[in-house]
Each structure stands twice: as C-alpha cells, then as structure tokens.
Amino acid sequence: MKNIEEVLEDIKNIDCQADQLQDKIKSAYEGYEYEGQSEVVIKRTEESDDTGLQTYDTHVGSRKAPKVVTVVKEGQDHYVSTVVDAYIQ
C-alpha cells in the first residue's frame, strides 16, 4: 500500500496537458487509502493562487485525511500544466 509521501512525490512529477491534470492527480493516489477511504477529492482553491499559478487541495474521502496542496503553472498557451510545488498540510 502507498503512503502519503509517495503520493506527494508522484504529484510533484506531474507535467501534462492541462485537460489531463486532475486525472494525473487521481492517478498519483492509486494504491493509497486513509481509514479505508480511497476516493480522491480535488478542490480548486482560487483564493490561494499566486500570480500566474493555480492551487489545488487534494485528499481522500475523510476530512481527517492528510491534504496535499498542489501548485501548478500553466504554459503560455494554457496547453501544458506543470506542478511547481506540492506539500502535505
């Protein structure tokens, strides 16, 4: 079974087409469970965006589960999304 640090490392390596970002984040969670929960919740958090960056909060089912905050930069044409930072909160 995968642990949250492994999920974090997989998320940090995401570099994909913008329309595939959420699927790639969900794929990073494959093999991870928290209190029997494995459904991935992804929330776009616009209020915490920096200029030119997008932020996503992700976790599995339980609100007590560790949350991974993912900071993403889109390419100039909004075609490519690259994770520039991610951390556990």
Residue 47 above 80 pLDDT? no
Concatenated DSSP letters of 1-65: -B-HHHHHHHHHT-EEEGGGHHHHHHHHTTTB-BTTB--EEEEE-GGGPPTTEEEEEEEESSTTS
pLDDT band, residue 46 (cuts 50/70/90): confident
CB–CB of 33/7 below 8 Å? no
Report pLDDT for 56.
Answer: 96
Report pLDDT for 26.
Answer: 98
The mean of the pLDDT values for the chain is 93
Residue (of 85, 13, 15) closest to 55 by Cα position: 85
CB–CB of 74/60 below 8 Å? no
Between 7 and 48, residue with greater pLDDT? 7
Residue ranges per structural domain of the chain:
4-88
